[in-house]
Chains A and B, each alone.
Chain A
Amino acid sequence: MNITQETVTHVANLARLSLAPEEIATLATEMGSMLAYVDKLNELDTEGIVPTAHAVPLENAFRTDTTRPSPGVEKALQNAPAASDGCFVVPKVIE
């Protein structure tokens, strides 16, 4: 399938990636050729086939709702690019 630069820009927005103009052009070509390759999956009739999300059958893992020690605020914030008063600091969201 043909991937336009507009499609790349749209997907980059969904992925929260800012791309330079030359990256957009390269990705349009590369994604186009990858998608042309994966189109071979359409050779297979998958009507009625149940999709596999996990190869090993997994059941919901329940546990009792009990209190356990947590790492604490200091450790949770130790890698924060910006923190203040026990919170992560982010740029302003609402004007």
Chain B
Amino acid sequence: MKLTDLTIHGMRELLDRGETTARELTDAFLNRIEAVDSRINSYIRVTAEQAREAAERADQRIQAGKAAPLTGIPLALKDIFITEGIETTCASKILSGFVPPYNGTAVAKLLEQDAVILGKLNMDEFAMGSSSENSAYGPVHNPWDTTRIAGGSSGGSAACVAACLAAGTLGTDTGGSIRQPASHCGVVGIKPTYGRVSRYGVIAYASSLDQVGPLAHNVEDCALLLQAVAGYDPHDSTSVDCPVPDYLATLREGVAGLRIGLPREYFIEGLDPCVKNAIENAVATFRELGAEIVDISLPHTDYAVACYYLIATAEASSNLARYDGVRFGLRQDNGSGLIDMYRASRAAGFGTEVKRRIMLGTFALSSGYYDAYYLKAQKVRTLIRNDFAEAFKQVDIVLAPVAPTPAFALGEKAGDPLQMYLSDIFTISVNLAGTCGLSIPCGFSAQKLPIGVQLIGKPFDEATILRAAQAFESATDFCTSAPV
């Protein structure tokens, strides 16, 4: 087995036994990135020099017997995480050349453990997209079939793991942006509960929905990464001061006796038969493992996409007001004054999808339309949230598809924004309800494209969905690397 194929857990064992070094692991990944990533385009920036320096520090720490769980493990970050001294662009021209003066909390926590950061990963510009095609650095290609999308917006984070170009990655999920690419690339990805992981130093898209989470080859690695970054942070007043359990401690407790709900609204027309089949097989596996399967209803599911595209765009229009050419980022000055400088800088710096969402969000917040659109959406959000609260009175976990189809072809939906938005139909409600969800591989299409199943948990109960996912992974054989 190649070093780059190992899980984080496997690397830890070799490092701690002295059978490899962080330097050797880091070089193996850097060589593989060099050889493979031109076909995937998962990295925007490879930070080889800093990675080798970090590996040296990690090796010293390991030799001193002071290794933390992630010491010496090569990881990579979605380019939405600001990194001190390393250019951070959010895949946008408007942040070209932006070198942050500090690290965000999640990154700082990884660095405290002397994890090795290999570089910054491609994504949809400002996390706005479902295919990682909206990037100033070109689209991400799916490692299972490079003519197809990797999913989005954390497409680089998912493709990078699938192609073994880092041991694990961090992404963000506002409407499915960790779970959907994880499903399309055949890796495990978890969106924790809103408030679980600090967003300090994470570039904001929609502040009431954004959440940080890990992607990795298997459930245990995801749990390990989540453990490292979860927890209250005084720098993020929306992070919640709620104890973080030991995720590994309960990981192998199985699913016997757990109640798993199947929401009837998620098994609809338009669900690709191969996805439906894979999900039904997953349900059968959970039943065999001793879980009780219960039919449930989430009656407002059909309204989630409409609700999301008002709330997310409204919040985006406000968050992205900061890109005005004054304090950082691109400035376009044609000499006709401050307001024209704002307009010209934003026009030159933002891509088409970002402009579209800023426009829709500005409209939804504008005088005369606020009540009819933004406030209405916030009320519908309450109904969606109540659906989950009711469901979780009956069940411990909700099981659903992640995406209606396997990865579609690059360019297939680029011309039709609404069709692209509808591809998030099964993931968006979880963000609106603020709870946690993960995607774990559960099968393949006839074309050998991965399919994920979504396990949705109660707020702050990541431990239960991780435990169920671990039971599923142990009973099946879908967590394999992409053939690149």
Can you list 24 A-B pairs with a CB-CB distance of less than 8 A? Answer: A8-B359, A14-B362, A15-B358, A17-B350, A18-B347, A27-B356, A30-B417, A38-B377, A41-B310, A42-B376, A44-B383, A49-B383, A51-B378, A52-B379, A54-B238, A55-B208, A55-B381, A58-B195, A79-B97, A79-B328, A81-B325, A81-B326, A88-B326, A91-B338
Task: Give the dominant DSSP class at A's interface.
Answer: loop
A31 partner, pick from B97, B99, B360, beta carbons under 8 A: B360
Give the chain A neighbours of B9 by CB distance below 8 A. none
Among B327, B363, B435, find the residue whose CB has the most chain A CB atoms closer than 10 A: B363
CA distance A53 to B374 in the complex (A): 10
B99 touches A51 (CB 8 A): no
B249 at interface (Cβ–Cβ under 8 A)? no
Contact with A along B4-36 (1 / 0, CB 8 A): 000000000000000000000000000000000
Closest 8 pairs between A and B when the two form their complex, measured CB to CB: A55-B434, A51-B378, A61-B237, A81-B331, A79-B328, A46-B379, A18-B343, A75-B101
CA distance A35 to B372 in the complex (A): 11
A71 partner, pick from B102, B324, B331, beta carbons under 8 A: B102
B379 touches A30 (CB 8 A): no
Give the chain B neighbours of A49 by CB distance below 8 A. 379, 382-383
B344 touches A41 (CB 8 A): no
CA distance A27 to B417 in the complex (A): 11
Q: What residue of chain A has the Cβ atom nearest to residue B209's Cβ?
A: A55
B418 touches A41 (CB 8 A): no
Give the chain A neighbours of B478 by CB distance below 8 A. none
Q: What residue of chain A has the Cβ atom nearest to residue B323's Cβ?
A: A16
A54 partner, pick from B97, B194, B302, B360, beta carbons under 8 A: B194
Contacts beyond the supplied A46-B382, A56-B240: 12 A-B pairs with Cβ under 8 Å: A16-B324, A18-B340, A23-B355, A27-B355, A37-B305, A38-B377, A44-B300, A51-B381, A58-B238, A79-B99, A91-B338, A93-B337
Query: Which residues from 63 to 102 on chain B have a C-beta closer than 8 Å to any C-beta of chain A?
Result: 97-99, 101-102
Q: What residue of chain B has the Cβ atom nearest to residue A36's Cβ?
A: B418
CA distance A60 to B355 in the complex (A): 32
CB distance from B419 to the nearest CB of A (A): 11
A11 touches B347 (CB 8 A): no
Query: Which residues does A use to contact B, with CB under 8 Å?
Result: 3, 7-8, 11-12, 14-19, 23, 27, 30-31, 33-35, 37-38, 40-44, 46, 49-56, 58, 60-61, 63, 71, 75-76, 78-82, 88, 90-93
CA distance A50 to B306 in the complex (A): 18
Do A51 and B382 form a contact, CB below 8 Å, given A17-B358, A38-B373, A92-B338? yes
Query: Which residues does B use to contact A, with CB under 8 Å?
Result: 97-99, 101-102, 193-195, 208, 234, 237-238, 240, 300, 302-303, 305-307, 309-310, 317, 321, 324-331, 333, 335, 337-344, 346-347, 350, 355-356, 358-360, 362-363, 366, 373, 375-383, 385, 417-418, 432-435, 459
CA distance A53 to B207 in the complex (A): 10
CA distance A5 to B55 in the complex (A): 56
Give the chain A neighbours of B98 by CB distance below 8 A. 79
A79 touches B418 (CB 8 A): no
Q: What residue of chain B has the Cβ atom nearest to residue A3's Cβ?
A: B363
B363 touches A11 (CB 8 A): yes
CA distance A82 to B329 in the complex (A): 11
A12 touches B434 (CB 8 A): no
CB distance from B199 to the nearest CB of A (A): 13
Q: What residue of chain A has the Cβ atom nearest to residue B208's Cβ?
A: A54
CB distance from B50 to the nearest CB of A (A): 18
Give the chain A neighbours of B307 by CB distance below 8 A. 41
B101 partner, pick from A52, A53, A71, A93, beta carbons under 8 A: A71
CA distance A37 to B308 in the complex (A): 12
